[in-house]
Amino acid sequence: MIEVKSVSKSFGRLKALENVSFKVGNGEIVGYVGLNGAGKTTTIRIAVGVLPPDSGDVFIDGLSITREKKKASEKIGWVPELPIFETDFKALDYYVYLAGYYGIPAAEARKMGKEALEVFGLGNALDMKLATYSQGMKKRFALAVSLINDPPNFIFDEVLNGLDPQGIVFFRDLAVKFKKQGKAVLFSSHILSEVEGIADKVVFIHKGRIIGVYGMNEIVNMVKPSLIVRVDKTVEALNILEKYGHVENRGDHLVVSSPAVPPNEIVKTLVENGFNVLEVRNEERSLEEFFFNLIKERGG
């Protein structure tokens, strides 16, 4: 279980995180969604122990990452958005080197490394320098290293960025597999639809503050379709349609968000008031709209 408790962090005058708290339970995938610069990576860097928080703490299976760093780090794996390694290392050598921090002897680590890198599609690149690896290869390498001791908690930080469709499917499937294995998985992204289908719940962060925590089902339920109406006199129709919900004038047509009555009643009213109804159709509201509305409502 990953428990982020009242974490705050500032860089100079910039408040990167302000009292951030949330939990990722075992066997659960939590999406961590926010715009670029919202504070997702800062939270994750604090959670994996590479950045000290100003206040608050992160507990990995009950172990404080600030006070029991070594023990806590044994229980968490991390695939960063842009993994950066020491460039002069060859992949297998770096694996062996990092395995040393897990107390694994060199010969055993070498054997483990060959197998792990083979599993993650890097079997042909064992002796290549890490500097020559592509982003996708680096992420796979980071994954292989993070799985050295098969930790019960895992964090994917914007891991789908820059990946080809095959890579995207690989990491999404992996997250689901981890969930089935009972691991706690935090899956960060700046696109809500990326976590749709895999996340059990989504934590939204904006400008360093948590602006909402919703179950995925809850989000889907809240995302109701809008009604698109095209009439001959758009401006005049606006006053009538406002009775049924929030109306947005998009020039040649109007959009009624979450209309309170069925579409046929709206059409009937318009016709009775002398409008020529040229087009009426439902518009599926996207998850991103939900996200942006959330930012608008709670983001300040």
Partner 1 sequence: MNPVFYDFKRAFLRPVTLIALAVFILAGIGLSYLVSISLSTRIGDFYSEFLAKLNLETGEFTLYYNIYDLEGKPLLANVETTLSVFNKISEFTPENEQPVKRFSFTAKGYYVFKTTLEKSVIETLANPDMDVFLKIASSTPLGYWEIGKVLLKLNGSEAVTSDPMILFIPASDIKLPIFSAGHVFLRDDELIISVLIEPPGQGFQLYFAISSDETTPDINNATLVGDVSTGLNVYRVNLSDFNVNITTETIIKLFLKSSESGTYSSDMFRIIRLETGRTQREITGIVVGSPALEMFSQFFPIVMLYLAYALVAKPKGIGALEFLIARPVTRWEVYFTRFVAGVLTALVSAGVFLATSNVGIVLLTGYGIESSHVVTLFIGVTGSLIAFYSLCYMLSTVVSGGKYLAVSIFLYLFFTIIMNIIVFIIAYLIYGLTPRLGEEVLGLQYISYYFNPLEFTKLCNLFREQGLYILAQYRRFPWSIHT
One-letter amino acid identity for 6? S
CB-wise, 88 or 252, nearer to partner 1? 88
Name the token pair of 134: 């592509």
Minimum distance from residue 51 beta carbon to partner 1 (Å): 8
Of the candidate spans 48-56, 236-244, 245-253, 279-287, the one that interacts with partner 1 by CB under 8 A turns out to be 48-56
**Dihedral Cα 38, 40, 42, 48, nearest 10 deg:** 170
Q: Rule CB under 8 A: is residue 102 a binding residue for partner 1?
A: yes
Q: What is the DSSP track for 184-217?
A: EEEEEES-HHHHTTT-SEEEEEETTEEEEEEEHH
CB-wise, 75 or 206, nearer to partner 1? 75
Tell which positions 120-179 bind partner 1, by CB under 8 A: 142, 145
Minimum distance from residue 18 beta carbon to partner 1 (Å): 23
Q: Is 247 within 8 Å of 254 (Cβ atoms)?
A: yes
Of the candidate spans 80-88, 186-194, 201-209, 285-293, the one that interacts with partner 1 by CB under 8 A turns out to be 80-88
**What is the DSSP secondary structure assignment for residue 134, as one 8-state letter?**
-
Q: How many residues bind partner 1 (CB under 8 A)?
A: 28
Q: Rule CB under 8 A: is residue 45 a binding residue for partner 1?
A: yes
Q: Which helix (H) or strand (E) holds 183?
A: none
The residue among 14, 8, 19, 21 whose CA lies nearest residue 51 is 8
CB-wise, 70 or 180, nearer to partner 1? 70
Minimum distance from residue 55 beta carbon to partner 1 (Å): 19
> Using CB under 8 A, which of 42, 43, 73, 226 touches partner 1?
73
Q: Rule CB under 8 A: is residue 295 a binding residue for partner 1?
A: no
Of the candidate spans 99-107, 163-171, 192-200, 251-259, the one that interacts with partner 1 by CB under 8 A turns out to be 99-107
Q: Rule CB under 8 A: is residue 43 a binding residue for partner 1?
A: no
Q: Residue 165, Cβ neighbours under 10 Å: how many?
A: 7
Tell which positions 237-266 bind partner 1, by CB under 8 A: none
Interface map 184-223 toward partner 1 (x if CB under 8 A): ----------------------------------------
Q: Is 35 within 8 Å of 206 (Cβ atoms)?
A: yes
Beta strands in the chain (DSSP E): 2-11, 14-24, 28-33, 55-60, 63-64, 76-79, 153-157, 184-189, 201-206, 209-215, 226-231, 246-249, 254-257, 277-283
Q: Rule CB under 8 A: is residue 97 a binding residue for partner 1?
A: yes
For 126, the 3-state DSSP assignment is coil
Q: Rule CB under 8 A: is residue 292 a binding residue for partner 1?
A: no
Name the token pair of 80: 């960063």
Binding site for partner 1 (CB under 8 A): 45, 48-50, 69-71, 73-74, 78, 80, 83-88, 96-98, 100-102, 105-106, 109, 142, 145
